[in-house]
Structures are given as C-alpha cells and as structure tokens.
C-alpha cells in the first residue's frame, strides 16, 4: 500500500474510534511511549547494543539510520569492530554511514598510516616531478632555428566518456555472444568457486553495495583495503552495468591479471585494472557536475624570456649548440595545476605522470613503438611545408565517447569502445609571453591522429596510459549511474562510495612544478638545414562528456535485468564469477 493510502486508512480508523469509544481512543493515543533518549542512551552505555538496535522506532531519537550510526560508533569505540561493521550495513543514508567512519577511525588515523595495495612506483613519479630532467647532449650546429613551446594537459569529464549507439532494435543477431550467454554464466555454483581475483573469468561481477560495506568494515577495523579491492577484483573494463532494486553491479570478462612494471593489467588485452579510488573520484565529480584534470604550463614570465632567447638565437647572439640549454633555462620551472580534485591523490599523480610522459614521447625523449611517429618525425615528413615557427602546440587527454545501449527500462547497460584520446590545437606565441589566436598546424594534427590510431600499442609499451584509460572507463560508469540511477537507492550508494575520495591511504605530495624540457632537432631539406627548437611547458576528465545525450533502446537486453539475482549467499562476497 502506498504511503498516502496508509495515512488515509489510519486517519479513518482513528476517527471511528473517537466517535464511538472516546475513552478507548485516549488509551490508544497513550499506548505508544514517546521517544526516550535516556532509555536509548542507557542501552548504549550499558553495552547492550542488540537491545539498542531493537528498540521501537518511536522510542529512539531521530531517524533509524541516525540511531544505528550512534550504535555502530559505540560498538566500534568499544572494540567490537566486526559488530559495528554489521550494523553499518543496515544504514542506507550516506551521511549517517560516513559519521560512523568519522567517529570510529580516529584511533586508527592516530596510529601508523594504513597502507593499501601497490600503486605504480610513487617514488619514481615523485622524483620525476621534483627533480631536474637532464637533457641530452646537443649537437653543435650553426644556422637559423625556430621554436615551439609545448604545454598540454589531461581533462576528464564523465559526461563525455560514452556515446549512445543507435542500433536497430529488431536485429536479434546482435544479441548473440556475451549477452546471450549471461544466463549460463550466472547459473554457476557461486559458493564452490575459488576466490582468486587474479584468475581468469568468463564473467566477473562486482556489487557496489557490497563493495561499499567491505570498504566500511576495513576502514573501521584498520585493515588495509588490499589489492583485490583497490583493483575492483580484476575488472579492466565494464561491459555490463546493472541497476537493480537495491544495488549497482558491474560485470565483464577477465583474462587473468599480471603485474607489469607496478601496474595490474589484463593478461590478454593489456588494459590496466579499474581502481576503486578512481571510481570514487569520478562518482564525486559526477555528483558535483565538475570536471577535473591537470595542466602543465610555463609562466608568462618564462614564456616572455623564452621568446627573447629565441630572438637571440635567430640573430646569432646565442650559438645554436647552446640554444636548447638556454631555452630551457629561460622557461624555468613550469606550473603544475591540478583542478577540480585534490592534488595529493593517486589520481592527481597519475594525470601528471601521463601528461609529462606524453610530452617526452612527442619530443623524442622516450621511444615510440616501432613505426609510430613522434612530433619530430612528423616535422621531418612535412618539411616541404616548412618548419613550425612560434607555435604553442597544446596537447591534452580527454574522453573518447563510448557506445552504450540499454534495455527498455534503462536498468541494464552495455558499454563498448575506446575511452580516451589525445586532442590538440595550436596558438601563436606572443613576444610579451601571452598567447595569440588559435592557428591550424597540419603537423600537430598528424601527430595526434597517429597517437590515437596507435593507442593500444603505446599503452602496451607504457602501462601508465592503461591506468589513465581505466580512469576514463570508470568515469563513464559514474555518469551512467548519476544519469539513470534512482534517487535514494543508486545515488545514495554512489554518494557513499564517492566519500572514499576524501580518504588518504598514502602520504603523497601534491605536484607543484616540473622542469621544462627542451630539445633541438635538425631537419635537412636538400642543401638546407632547419634547426627546430621545441620546449615543453594536461589531462581533463569531464564525466558528463562520456556519453551522448541520446540512448538507443535495445530490447534484447530486457530479459537480462534479473540475471544478477543469483549472487553469493555470504554478504561479504562483494565479487563473484559466473561460468
């Protein structure tokens, strides 16, 4: 019966009682005792937590979730961490759940920092950010030169990570394959299977509701999250997203997980595993409607000094053999700005590392995969159009919209496609250190196209790009949850997981500056030599840019909303395999 109907029925019964049996009505009105904070508090102080949890709703102060939060906090502070975690599982309101963590984690936080799983070689990354990049020995050549300062970044917007595919709704052949096999995959005996998250699976499922409870339990007991939880049980992509009545479930096949240079990657695809801290960051960004990312840019003073040095190089006042050193010195330290997110997180350091490494690839300081051209190679190939001169080459990572289709009730979503791409544009560098109008440079366009075309090969050679790709994949998931999730169920669950974005499992310094990179490149055309001097000055994630606004209904997915009901009986099994 709906709530308005229940209220109407109750009012009718009370009216009849008052009209016929006035004294009985008075007795009925007095039968339910008022909230008694003293009685409730006494139960907690006496350690009678089972009694406290079973008190009638009308006898406890505030809402039931708030009261359970008080009980869980008291259980945790008294040392009953496991019981407290069990109580927290009964709390649905994100704020009340978070209050338990805030009240019970003080002792843990005052102790030694709790570690989690490994994350790609932070020491190397911090050294990369904090120390000077030693340039190669420059070739001592005479002649003219040109300069192209080189800033860029990373940009993540969850709303731009997926694209809704317009598929023919009556094409039953498209339902074959993985979708058609879901019934069989979920029919496995879930309790008898092994619990190795790094093992292959025909279809692995992760419950975000149970994941939330597992994170809460570990936070309250001071247990590290561990590699399986940090890496979402080995998922390297989300093929299916299920919005059930009380849960959000992610599913995809996995070919087994290997550790590759500090990163966990799928054995067959080479994709890095999705991470729970990345998911928390993207869920928080989706709910706030705020993109996040990083930029690495020279200061205006550095730009002005660099333009002055360029003029001296052209006039011969600075020998060409010393030009790269002089330009790097003129540019000085370049600013690292992390926007829309805290700078002392694994996400921030990943974005800065990926941005920095991409510059090194473009300028030839790190090798591209065989047969893939860097920016200098493109300059060589297009020297007939002249060398670049006075250009600001801006490159940044952003979302490649993924294709999504859903059932008629928008409860089952299938996601496919690449998640990230490199973008670029050019501006004129002005003598005062400013930036002029956007210009067209076919060299940068060709380099960007080649980088994106060979993304999988670059990612396989350098796992940092696989980790960056995983960030955009969970950004797409977070946008779909925010866009189609039910208020009070899926969005509350997302809010609880998003609160993990505030957690700090590592003492990470926020990157502030990086040393400039400068290189001189000589191009020969006939009997003429061109000396091209390039100097390096982001990443952006906007969750609402991950999908197109129109979503195609795919009726063959209608029958799969109920398939995720066959889950492990044990509530602490937050992931499971289907066969």
Give the mean model confidence (pLDDT) for residues 89-106.
77
Q: Tens of pLDDT along 155-208?
A: 666 665 555 444 333 344 444 443 444 444 444 444 444 578 999 999 999 999
pLDDT at 435 over 80: no
The single residue listed with the structure tokens 């791409």 is 421
Task: Locate 291 and state its tokens.
Answer: 């993109």
**Cβ neighbours of 331 (radius 10 Å):** 25
Question: What 3-state DSSP class applies to 254?
Answer: strand
Distance CA 413, CA 231 (A): 22
Distance CA 511, CA 406 (A): 40
Distance CA 97, CA 209 (A): 13
Task: Locate 508 and state its tokens.
Answer: 């990470």
pLDDT in the model for residue 462: 93
Distance CA 116, CA 114 (A): 7
pLDDT at 2 over 70: no
Q: Tens of pLDDT along 205-219?
A: 999 999 999 998 888
Element (H, E) at 294: strand 292-297
Select from 153, 134, 149 the least CA-distant residue to 358.
153
Select from 510, 75, 217 the least CA-distant residue to 225.
217
> What pairing do the DSSP bridges indicate for beta strands 402-406 and 552-553?
parallel
pLDDT in the model for residue 262: 84
Task: Locate 494 and state its tokens.
Answer: 């997302």
Distance CA 443, CA 393 (A): 10
Of the given ranges (24-33, 289-298, 372-381), which has the lowest mean pLDDT? 24-33
Inter-residue contact 551 to 404 (CB < 8 Å): yes
Give the mean model confidence (pLDDT) for residues 80-99.
80
The region, left, alpha or beta by phi > 0 then psi within -120 to 50, assigned to residue 32 is beta
Give the mean model confidence (pLDDT) for residues 72-90.
78
Mean pLDDT, the chain, rounded, equals 73
Residue 239 is given by DSSP the state: S
Of the given ranges (106-110, 134-138, 475-479, 491-495), which has the lowest mean pLDDT? 134-138
Task: Locate 46 and state its tokens.
Answer: 């006496």
pLDDT in the model for residue 271: 94
Inter-residue contact 294 to 258 (CB < 8 Å): no
**Cβ neighbours of 261 (radius 10 Å):** 11
Beta bridge partners of 161: 546
11 CB-contact burial (10 Å; exposed 0-12 / middle 13-18 / buried 19+): exposed
Distance CA 570, CA 369 (A): 47
pLDDT at 7 over 70: no
Question: What 3-state DSSP class applies to 6?
Answer: helix
pLDDT in the model for residue 503: 85
Inter-residue contact 534 to 328 (CB < 8 Å): no
Q: Tens of pLDDT along 443-499?
A: 888 999 999 999 999 999 999 999 999 999 999 999 999 999 999 899 999 999 999
Q: Tens of pLDDT along 300-324?
A: 787 788 778 777 877 788 887 777 7
pLDDT > 70 in the chain, percent: 65
353 CB-contact burial (10 Å; exposed 0-12 / middle 13-18 / buried 19+): buried
Select from 272, 244, 268 the least CA-distant residue to 564.
244
Question: What 3-state DSSP class applies to 188?
Answer: coil
């Amino acid at each position: 019966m709906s709530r308005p109907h229940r209220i109407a029925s109750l009012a009718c019964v009370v009216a009849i009682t008052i009209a016929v049996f006035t004294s009985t009505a008075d007795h009925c009105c007095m039968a339910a005792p008022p909230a008694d904070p003293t009685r409730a508090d006494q139960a907690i102080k006496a350690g009678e937590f089972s009694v406290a949890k079973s008190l009638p709703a009308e006898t406890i102060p505030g809402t039931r979730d708030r009261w359970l939060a008080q009980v869980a906090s008291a259980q945790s502070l008294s040392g009953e961490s496991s019981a407290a975690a069990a109580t927290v599982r009964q709390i649905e309101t994100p704020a009340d759940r978070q209050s338990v963590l805030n009240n019970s984690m003080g002792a843990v936080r005052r102790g030694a920092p709790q570690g989690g799983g490994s994350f790609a070689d932070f020491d190397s990354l911090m050294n990369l950010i904090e120390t000077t990049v030693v340039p190669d020995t420059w070739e001592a050549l005479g002649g003219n030169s040109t300069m192209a300062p080189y800033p860029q970044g990373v940009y993540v917007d969850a709303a731009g990570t997926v694209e809704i595919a317009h598929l023919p709704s009556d094409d039953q052949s498209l339902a074959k394959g993985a979708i058609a096999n879901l019934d069989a995959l979920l029919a496995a005996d879930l309790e008898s299977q092994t619990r190795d998250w790094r093992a292959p699976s025909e279809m692995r499922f992760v419950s975000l509701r149970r994941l939330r409870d597992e994170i809460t339990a570990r936070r309250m007991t001071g247990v590290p999250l561990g590699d399986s939880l940090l890496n979402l049980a080995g998922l390297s992509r989300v093929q299916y997203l299920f919005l059930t009545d009380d849960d959000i479930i992610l599913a995809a096949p996995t070919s087994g997980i290997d550790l590759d240079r500090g990163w966990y990657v799928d054995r067959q695809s080479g994709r890095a595993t999705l991470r729970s801290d990345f998911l928390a960051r993207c869920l928080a960004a989706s709910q706030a409607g705020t993109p996040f990312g990083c930029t690495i840019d020279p200061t205006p003073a550095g730009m002005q000094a660099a333009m002055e040095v360029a003029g001296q190089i052209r006039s011969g006042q600075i020998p060409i053999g010393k030009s790269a050193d002089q330009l790097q010195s003129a540019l000085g330290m370049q600013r690292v700005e992390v926007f829309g997110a805290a700078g002392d997180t694994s996400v921030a350091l990943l974005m800065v590392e990926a941005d920095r490494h991409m510059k090194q690839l473009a300028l030839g300081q790190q090798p591209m995969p065989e047969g893939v051209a860097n920016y200098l190679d493109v300059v060589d190939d297009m020297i007939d159009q002249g060398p670049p001169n006075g250009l600001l080459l801006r490159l940044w990572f952003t979302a490649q919209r993924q294709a999504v289709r859903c059932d008629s009730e928008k409860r089952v979503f299938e996601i496919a496609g690449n998640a990230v791409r490199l973008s670029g544009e050019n501006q004129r560098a002005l003598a005062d250190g400013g930036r002029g109008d956007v210009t067209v440079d076919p060299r940068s366009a060709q380099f960007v196209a080649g980088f994106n075309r060979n993304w999988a090969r670059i990612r396989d050679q350098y796992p940092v790009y696989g980790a960056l790709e995983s960030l955009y994949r969970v950004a797409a998931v977070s946008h779909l949850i925010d866009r189609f999730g039910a208020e009070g169920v899926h969005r509350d669950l997302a809010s609880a997981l998003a609160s993990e974005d505030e957690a700090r499992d590592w003492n990470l310094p926020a990157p502030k500056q990086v040393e400039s990179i400068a290189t001189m490149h000589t191009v020969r055309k006939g009997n003429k030599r061109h000396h091209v001097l390039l100097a390096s000055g982001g990443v952006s994630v906007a969750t609402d840019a991950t999908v197109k606004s129109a979503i195609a209904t795919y009726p063959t997915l209608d029958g799969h909303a109920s398939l995720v009901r066959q889950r492990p009986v044990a509530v602490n099994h937050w992931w499971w395999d289907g066969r």
